[in-house]
Amino acid sequence: MNDYRPWYDALAKPAWTPQSATIGTIWGVIYPLIAVAAVATGVKVVRSDLSKWVLVPLALNLVSNVAFTTILFGMRNLQLAAADILVVLATIVWWMLEVWRPGSVWIVVPLAPYLVWVSTATVLQVAITLANRG
């Protein structure tokens, strides 16, 4: 998948598109926050403080997050990547709503930067997809 760079660089992108290094740095901060929230969610489920159903948005989020890179850079499918990132965004919100309970609301805190970043990335991906139609 290392040969994606010329393809991606040739795409029409908004002027505000972050540099690759910036995107890498952002994910370097966000992935540990996701891990903290996921572990905390799992512990709360094991302790029966949260329903096991909270694991559905968590699992869907992790799968769709991991799939995004393969879809965009491996398959080079802009439309499917746009659809996938919408799933990532929706499952973050769903996960946050599921843990928004007394004693568990603090799990939302590490998910908040993830939500902000994926909201931005969603707008970016949709803009790139629309700019490269046809």
* 22: in domain: no
* 47: in domain: yes
Q: What is the pLDDT of residues 41-77, one digit of tens each?
A: 999 999 999 999 999 999 999 999 999 999 999 999 9
Q: Domain containing 55: what range? A: 30-131
Q: What pLDDT is recorded for position 3?
A: 87
* 84: in domain: yes
* 114: in domain: yes
Q: What pLDDT is recorded for position 61?
A: 98
Domain count, the chain: 1
Q: What is the pLDDT of residues 111-120, one digit of tens each?
A: 999 999 999 9
* 3: in domain: no
* 12: in domain: no
Q: What pLDDT is recorded for position 70?
A: 96
Buried b (16+ CB within 10 A) or exposed e, 1-21: eeeeeeeeeeeeeeeeeeeee
**Spatial separation of the C-alpha atoms in residues 46 and 76, rounded to whole Å:** 39
DSSP tag of 71: I
Whole-prediction pTM: 0.94
Which tokens belong to 114? Answer: 């993830």
**What value does the mean pLDDT take over residues 99-119?**
95
